[in-house]
Structure formats: structure tokens, C-alpha cells
Structure 1
Amino acid sequence: MFILSEDSNRTQGRDAQSSNIMAGKAVSEAVRTTLGPRGMDKMLVDSSGNVVITNDGATILNEMDIEHPAAQMIVEVAESQEEEVGDGTTTAAVLAGNLLAEAEDLIEQDVHATTIVEGYHEAARIALEAIEDQVLDVDVDDELLEQVAVSSMTGKGTGGLQTETLAETVVGAIRQINSDEGVQRDNVEIHTQVGSSSNATELVNGIVIDEEPAHDEMPTSVEDASVAILDVELGIRTGEVDAEYAIDSIDQLNAALDAEEDELRRYAQDVIDSGVDVLFTTDDVDDRVASLLASEGILTFEDITNKKARKVANATGARRVGALEDLSEDDFGHADRVRTETYGDDDLAFVEGGAAAEAVTVFVRGGTDHVVDELERAIEDALDVVTAALDSGEVVPGAGATEIAIADAVRSAAAGIEGRKQLAVTAFADALDIVPRTLAGNTGQDPIDVLVDLRAAHEAEGRAGLVTDGETVTIGDPVEHGVVDPADVKREAVESATEAATMIVRIDDVIAAE
């Protein structure tokens, strides 16, 4: 009796497990060489010929055209890592791939998938406890946060800009929007602008939006500015119903035009009388109204989006007003300065230093689209890890030291576990070694030799990682070299990689419609 359609394709047992594991390993391998400060970049070209050059794991996996469902699970590992903590995507994907590789070896030794899954979950629990033991007893001050940011950005494309300089900018941005309720990460934006060099990247205490003044004669900069936001058109409103009027004489025409001019002048005068210095409107401003406002030195931006209006309100404390006659000083926000700048064909408005400012912007510059895009990705990751470190207050050694330590803890615990599950726990420990091994391989060193030396140094010193000292890569204490990571990044990598690997290992039947 046939249950499945004749068009269905079914793979079962070892073949299904092997196919899924192979797909997961392939995705993991695609990003493995990007890991660490000496990681390589990938060039991704889509069907339209658009090129992305990056070593950001999440970006690479998102840009790849992946169809295999098991491979897609590894992509989801990176997505989960990115969403939860903002960094460590490559580590999570590589760890998931190596867990699959170790599981494949166990399956070939006739260890049942259920036993592997149980062992992996037990090992993950031990690993998470070991991460707690690695948390450093230090104050999370600006210096430490800058070290976290540098660790995140080292090896990524920063357009020649020193990571230490960029780290100061990142920490400055996070500090400005930190409050008793924690870090309001959404209040930090990144605005990219091609042109100049990456050294022109700066922190703007406020917002940057793509807007130009409504009239050429308006001021380009206003200091100590009162700011208003109007959700109303400053012009002759067009009715919803078409209407025609018969004009019998030139006097009637002139009277109609005069009435229109009077209405426009009234709009302008109402704005002028309000005393506002800078006006943002979400609707159109008639050219004649704009001219009158320009003559009074009122900087006006018209037809801005609702999203931009919310940003202006957030940065200045201004309240949006739906009727011109309701506009008053009580609705005004404040900015230390509102200025406009032109970069090539692009006009930008900077709203800086609002009295109620709850927004900052990292204004990213670079010579090409590729440079600013990669710099933006590096800053995004740094902002996220600094936020994670500040929110939790917990950091651990980087440079592979934490992975060496938790692998040692898992391996030691495995000795006390009976049955075949011990093999799975030991395999989990071996899988954790992929991080220091990959870091070594990406620096041109022999991974096995370095791993042996790292284990020996860890046993002797209690903390050992693969640190960069100028042009050389040596084994040392990463904390002394300022290489630290948020503990949450390590936790999330272990949890998400374990979940994906165990899910794939448990699959023994794949049914696909053709």
C-alpha cells in the first residue's frame, strides 16, 4: 500500500542522518575561516551581480542561497545568536557544525542518536556551569567595555580606522543612552555616508536624517533651537471633491488669488508668531510659505516620514501637533544645534544635543560602499556586545581561553558518567576545541600543536588563550592583553549550537515532495 505520493522523495535511517549532518557541516565550514582577528573575508555575489565583501558570520549566512532544511537550521543558529546578543554568530555556527561532525563519528560507532542527544544536553549543562566559573571579578567600567568592543571588532573591516578609536566611539554612544532601566539599544542609530575616509566617523549626540531645507534661503545652522513638529499641510489644501468655479471678471480672479495669498501668509505668520526656530512637518509646505519662513530665519523641513518625525521627537522632546492653531511653546522641543550638510548629492540634517535627548548616532564615513557597509556591521556588533556586557555586568576571557576551560571541565566531568553517554559528553568537549583550533589555523599555525600548548598552559596557569601581540600570535593570558567577551555571548553560542545539532541528529527520515 502506497501512503506517499509517487512524486515524493524519501530518505531514511543512516542516509538521512548522513545527508543532514553533511549539509550542516558544509554551512559551518563556509564561515569557519572568518573566525578570529586573522579571519578571512568572503565575497558574495547575487544573481544581479551585487557584491558583498564581509567576514561577518550572520551576514554571510543570510546572503547565501541555502535550500537544504538541515543547513537552514545552522543559519537559524546564527540568526538566534545575532538576535539575542548581537555577536558570536560565527562561533555558534562553527560549534554547531563540529558538534555534528563529532555526532557523525559516534553514529558510525553505533552510538544511538538518543544517547548522543542526552549526552550533548548533559555536556551543555556542564559547559554553562563552567562559563559561570570563568566570569571575571571586575568592574564593568569604560576601559573594560572598550576592551569588549575591540575584541568584537578586531579582524573585521574597519576601513583602516583603529579599533581602539572606534571602541571609544561605541562605548561613548552606549553610555549616553544608558539609564536606570538599562541600555536603550534602539536609541543608538548608525548612519552611513560614502565619502571621505573612515577616520571621519564620529559620534553625533542626536540624530541624522536625509532631509534638506524647504527653501534655499533658509539658514544652514541654528544654535540653541526650539523645535516643533507639525502634522499638517502648510499650503492650499486640495479638497477630496472636484469643484469648478466660474470667474466672470479679472477682479474676481485677483480676489481669489489675494485670498489664497492671505491664507498662506496667515499660515506663515502663525508659525512665526509661535516663536519656533526649527520646524519639521510631515506634510507639504507651499513654496510661498517656505519663502516667508526663510525670510524670518526659520529652518523648515517638509514632508518628513512618520519614522523621522518620531526620531526628531525622541531626540528633542518635541510633541507632534495636528493643527497649526494648537501650536504653542509647550509643544516645543529643544536642540543645542540643528544644521544641514551636503555630501555630494546627499543632503543631511543633524539634530544635536537636545535637552530631552534620548538618541545618539554613529555617523559612519568611508571611501566606498563596501567600506561603509562592513564598518557598519562591525559597529553594530560592537554596540550589541557592549550592551550585553553592560546589562549583565559579566565578561569572560576571550581568545579561545573560555572554550579551553569549559572543554576541560566537560572532559573531566565525562569521566564520572557511565555508559555510552560518556562518549557523547567527551565528544562535546572535543567539539568545543574547534574554536581555539580554528583561531590557530586562521593565524597560519598548526592547530594540533597550538591546542596541545593551550591545554598545557591552561593546566599550568589556569587561563590561556591565543593572543595577538603586534604582528605575532602567542599563547598568554587574554585578560592581561585586554581580550574579553560578554559571558552572554558564550552562553548563547553553547545553547543555540547544542539545540541545532541535537535537532539535526534526531532526524532519521526526510520526506520531500518533488
Structure 2
Amino acid sequence: MMQPQIILLKEGTDSSQGVPQIVSNINACQSVADAVRTTLGPRGMDKLIINDQGKSIISNDGATILKNLDIVHPAAKTLVDIAKSQDAEVGDGTTSVVLLAGEFLKQSKPFIEENVHPQIVIRAFRKATDLAVQRIKEISVKVKKDDKGEHRELLEKCAATTLSSKLVAHQKDFFAKMVVDAVMHLDELLPLNMIGVKKVTGGALEDSMLVAGVAFKKTFSYAGFEMQRKQYEKPLIALLNVELELKAEKENAEVRVDNVQEYQSIVDAEWKILYEKLDHVHKSGAKVVLSKLPIGDVATQYFADRDMFCAGRVPDEDLKRTLKACGGSIQTTCQNLASNVLGSCEKFEEIQIGGERYNLFTGCPQARTCTMILRGGAEQFIEETERSLHDAIMIVRRAMKNDAVVAGVNV
């Protein structure tokens, strides 16, 4: 009598194992390594990738390329994870880790084919890792943090080495100085989210600038903003999450009135509520009013008449960075706007950058923050510049936190 067949795995599952499967995994990983191999080094080439949405990405960054490749092989996916973890932990060297992993697998392939047990190969790799780490510690150079000039020069070299294989290699000295300035502007914890990056198309790469404070694109403006001042010295800043405009009721709003006077009283009440809010903001002494929600044309003109600047619909990220840098707190009401809930900075100004208007807050007392404003031709070009600078920022942060570096090649 035949034994009944027990199916443990779902239909279509590949349950191959042993040497052929390990070799198959190695081959898959080698294919991934070959995909990014030519991006490495000063003569490395960029890759053009079209994603599912039809957006084109031009990049030299290993992690970015692998993220956008639709890799389905499970073993090859581990190489993508290696690149992602390298990007998160160190920031640079994402291509190098993939190539090294691919090369190690390639060297182990003949041993696997000759039936050497994988555990023996792994044991050898572990021993080699210990020896490599030991050797790296021997040849590492201690960072002299006491000599400020030498320390800064070393950091600039680290940044330039990172940028030498990127799209911005020709401007690496310019950007290396900018990156070091940006990281040195932060406090001891070196929080990455306190470096903002804004992109403005047009202009040359050298037109990029570093703002020692918070900068964001001018938000949508209502009538009356032309009359507002564009520059203030030591202003108080009100950060709101309040809508300052007359609401047009649409859904589920039904008001029944018997005569015109009742209707007029409803309209008057609405105006009174708005003006009460505006009066409270004005009496607080704030000169700059930022809100996450819209600030309408009535409010804009009200503030303009009283020598105040306002901006509504400020993106959440920008509002939070302004909060951290300038102090104060985000208010959900206009009542009791005391001085302890208002922020402040040394200087506020609105300037023209390319085709955009930007609001700049400099001399922020609470937290040390800065904003990079990148310029360049095509959108993809600026995005790749941002990715390159992210790598350089991460490396400079790493060099400032650690007390030793290993020499790289700066061609």
C-alpha cells in the first residue's frame, strides 16, 4: 500500500538544496555586484534607471542603484540589505561593500564546488575578518582634535575623498568646505536632521550656498504680502497651528434665519472671531508669524498694516526645524501668546534665489542648525548632488565622532 504524500510547502516552491543551490546563490550575488561594479572609483560611470512610475534616476550611489533595481532572488536581496545598512550606518562605501561581498563569494565558489563544507569557509572568513580589523587598527591615523586647523584639513580631505567618485567631483573642494562648515555648525550630538537641504533648479553648482540657520521656500501668499517688510533684526517669532482666514462652510453646515439682521449677526460674529485672533497675535509682540495652516488675505493685510510678516502653509518639517532652532513652541490657539512661547533669531530676511523667494532665519539661539541650498541644471542632477553630499556629511560626522581614520585615495 502506497504511503500518502504529505505536502508541507505551497505549490510552486523551489526546495533545491546542497552545493548546486549555494553555487546558484553565489552566481546571483555576482550578477548584482557586476551591476554596480562600473560605478566605482574616480573614473566610475553613473547609471540611468527608469523606475515603475517612469521617473528617471541618474546615480553613482550603490545603495540608491540597488534600491531601484527590482531584485527578486532572495540571496541577491541580502546584498541590497548590505548596501542599505552601510548607507544608514556609515553613509559612504555602499558600492564597495557589495563588490567586496561579491568578490569573497567568487573566491569561495571553487571550494564549495569541491565539496568543502560551507561552515569551514565561514570559519576562515571570520578569522580573516579579525586579522583585517587588527591590521586596520595598526595602520589607522589618530585624529589630532587639539589642532583646529589640522583637524579641519583632515575633515575636508575625508569629504573630498568621498566626493571624488561622484558627479560633483570637479567641484569637490568647494563642496568639501561646505560640508565641513555644515557639520561643524551643529552641536556635539551632530543631529543629521538639523542640516536641511533645499534644491533650486537653475544656476551653476558653485551658486550653491550654506545658510547658518533655517531657510525654506516662500509659501503661497495672499493679497497684501507685497506690503510686508522683508527684513527684521531680532524679531520675535510666533509658530502657530491655527487657520487665520474666514471659513467658507461647505459640508453639514445649515443655518436657518428669519430675517436679514440675524444673518448679519452671524457674519459679524465670524469676522469678530477672526479679528480677535489677529489682535492676540499682534499684542504678543511677534514680528514674524508662521503657521502650518493657511493665513488668508484678510490676515495678511492686517499683519502688513502693523509691520508684521506672515507665512501660512509652512511644511511641517520646516516648522519643526524653525522651532528647534529659534525656540518657543507651536501654538494651537492665539490666546495667551506670552514671550516664553515665542521664538527669536538675530535676523530674518526674504531673498531671491534663482526663480524662487526664500525665507531665511539666521543667528538662531536655541539649537545650531544650517541649510544647504543647492543649485544646478536638471532636476536629476541636483538630486544626485544631494545624494553625494549626504555621503560626504555622513563621513565627516563619522570622522568627528571617531578618533582615527584610515587613508583613502584622493585622485
TM-score under structure 2 length normalisation: 0.90
Cα deviations by residue, 1:384-405 (Å, 9 ceiling, x for unpaired): 0000010012111113xxxxxx
- State the Cα distance separating 1:376 from its structure 2 match: 0.5
Which residue of 1 is the match for residue 144 of structure 2?
139
Task: Determine if the alignment matches structure 1 residue 189 to structure 2 residue 196.
Answer: yes
**CA 254–364 in structure 1, closer or farther in 2 if over 3 Å, else same:** same
Kept after mapping to 2: 8 A contact 1:230/1:321: yes
336, 350, 358: which one aligns with 1:340: 350
Which residue of 2 is the match for residue 433 of structure 1?
none
**CA 113–164 in structure 1, closer or farther in 2 if over 3 Å, else same:** same
Kept after mapping to 2: 8 A contact 1:340/1:349: yes
Q: In 2, distance between residues paired with 1:201 and 1:117?
A: 48
Q: In 2, distance between residues paired with 1:87 and 1:111?
A: 35
Which residue of 1 is the match for residue 148 of structure 2?
none
Question: Aligned residues: percent identity?
Answer: 29
**CA 270–247 in structure 1, closer or farther in 2 if over 3 Å, else same:** farther
**CA 339–298 in structure 1, closer or farther in 2 if over 3 Å, else same:** same
**CA 128–346 in structure 1, closer or farther in 2 if over 3 Å, else same:** same
1:300-339 to 2 correspondence within 5 Å?
300-339=310-349
Kept after mapping to 2: 8 A contact 1:231/1:283: yes
SS at match of 2:95: helix
Q: In 1, distance between residues paired with 2:313 and 2:143?
A: 50
176, 181, 187: which one aligns with 1:178: 187
**CA 345–138 in structure 1, closer or farther in 2 if over 3 Å, else same:** closer
1:224-239 to 2 correspondence within 5 Å?
224-236=234-246
Which residue of 2 is the match for residue 270 of structure 1?
280
Cα deviations by residue, 1:427-462 (Å, 9 ceiling, x for unpaired): xxxxxxxxxxxxxxxxxxxxxxxxxxxxxxxxxxxx
Which residue of 1 is the match for residue 403 of structure 2?
393
- State the Cα distance separating 1:119 from its structure 2 match: 0.5
- State the Cα distance separating 1:14 from its structure 2 match: 1.9
Which residue of 1 is the match for residue 212 of structure 2?
205
TM-score under structure 1 length normalisation: 0.72
**CA 305–190 in structure 1, closer or farther in 2 if over 3 Å, else same:** closer
Kept after mapping to 1: 8 A contact 2:325/2:369: yes
**CA 5–244 in structure 1, closer or farther in 2 if over 3 Å, else same:** closer
Which residue of 2 is the match for residue 242 of structure 1?
253
Which residue of 2 is the match for residue 154 of structure 1?
164
Which residue of 2 is the match for residue 91 of structure 1?
96
Q: In 2, distance between residues paired with 1:197 and 1:91?
A: 30
Task: Determine if the alignment matches structure 1 residue 107 to structure 2 residue 117.
Answer: no
Q: In 2, distance between residues paired with 1:46 and 1:266?
A: 51
Unpaired segments of 5 or more residues in structure 1? 400-466, 469-514
- State the Cα distance separating 1:299 from its structure 2 match: 0.9
Kept after mapping to 2: 8 A contact 1:159/1:198: no
Kept after mapping to 2: 8 A contact 1:149/1:170: yes
SS at match of 1:83: helix
- State the Cα distance separating 1:19 from its structure 2 match: 0.8
- State the Cα distance separating 1:185 from its structure 2 match: 2.2
Q: In 2, distance between residues paired with 1:326 and 1:234?
A: 16
Task: Determine if the alignment matches structure 1 residue 29 to structure 2 residue 39.
Answer: no
**CA 268–15 in structure 1, closer or farther in 2 if over 3 Å, else same:** same
1:409-420 to 2 correspondence within 5 Å?
none
Kept after mapping to 2: 8 A contact 1:267/1:289: no
Which residue of 2 is the match for residue 512 of structure 1?
none
Kept after mapping to 2: 8 A contact 1:282/1:304: yes
Q: In 2, distance between residues paired with 1:19 and 1:2?
A: 27
- State the Cα distance separating 1:320 from its structure 2 match: 1.8
Cα root mean square deviation, aligned: 2.3
Cα deviations by residue, 1:445-494 (Å, 9 ceiling, x for unpaired): xxxxxxxxxxxxxxxxxxxxxx63xxxxxxxxxxxxxxxxxxxxxxxxxx
**CA 378–18 in structure 1, closer or farther in 2 if over 3 Å, else same:** same
- State the Cα distance separating 1:148 from its structure 2 match: 0.4
Kept after mapping to 1: 8 A contact 2:280/2:336: no
Kept after mapping to 1: 8 A contact 2:112/2:118: yes
RCO (CA 8 Å, sep 6+): is it higher in 1 or 2? 1
Kept after mapping to 2: 8 A contact 1:339/1:351: yes
SS at match of 1:164: helix
- Whichever residue aligns with residue 207 of structure 1, its letter is V
**CA 360–5 in structure 1, closer or farther in 2 if over 3 Å, else same:** closer
Q: In 1, distance between residues paired with 2:12 and 2:164?
A: 50
- State the Cα distance separating 1:5 from its structure 2 match: 4.8
- State the Cα distance separating 1:183 from its structure 2 match: 1.8
Which residue of 1 is the match for residue 291 of structure 2?
281
1:370-449 to 2 correspondence within 5 Å?
370-399=380-409
Q: In 1, distance between residues paired with 2:114 and 2:302?
A: 84
**CA 341–117 in structure 1, closer or farther in 2 if over 3 Å, else same:** same
164, 174, 187: which one aligns with 2:173: 164
- Whichever residue aligns with residue 403 of structure 2, its letter is G
**CA 265–111 in structure 1, closer or farther in 2 if over 3 Å, else same:** same
Q: In 1, distance between residues paired with 2:258 and 2:272?
A: 19
Kept after mapping to 2: 8 A contact 1:280/1:301: yes
- Number of aligned residue pairs: 397
Task: Determine if the alignment matches structure 1 residue 299 to structure 2 residue 309.
Answer: yes
SS at match of 2:40: coil
Kept after mapping to 1: 8 A contact 2:241/2:291: yes
Q: In 2, distance between residues paired with 1:281 and 1:36?
A: 46
Q: In 1, distance between residues paired with 2:284 and 2:54?
A: 53
Kept after mapping to 1: 8 A contact 2:345/2:364: yes
Cα deviations by residue, 1:12-66 (Å, 9 ceiling, x for unpaired): 2221011100000111111112112221211112244322112111111111111
Kept after mapping to 2: 8 A contact 1:38/1:155: yes
